[in-house]
Chains A and B, each alone.
Chain A
Amino acid sequence: MLSLTIYISFIGALVVAMLPAKPSSMARILALMVAVAGLVVGVVGYVADFGKGLVILTDKAWVPSMGIHYLLAADGISRTLVLLTGLAAVAGVLFSWNIELRTNEFFAFFLALIGGVYGVFLSYDLFLLFVFYEIAIVPKYFLIAIWGSTRREYAAMKLALYSFVGSAMVLIGLLAAYATSGSHSTSLIALHAAGLPVSFQMWCFPLVFIGFGILAGMWPFHTWAPTGHVAAPTAASMLLAGVVMKLGAYGCLRVGIWLLPHGLDPWGWSFIGIGSWRDVFAVLAVIGIVYGALVALAQTDFKFVIGYSSVSHMGFVLLGLMTLNQVGITGAVMQMFSHGVIAGLLFAIVGRIVYERTHTRQLAELETMHLSRRIPFAAWAFVIAGMASMGLPGFSGFVAELQVLIGAWMAKPWWVVAAGLGIVVGVAYTWRAMQKAFFGDGKASVHDLEQERAHPFAAITWPEVTGVVLLASVSLAVGLYPRMLLDQIEPAVKALLAGGVQ
Chain B
Amino acid sequence: MSLFDFFFPKKPASASIAKERLQIVLAHERADRDRPDFLPRLQKELLAVVTKYVAVEEDMIRVSLGKAGNASVLEINVEVPHTAITGPARAVPA
Q: Do A and B bind each other?
A: no
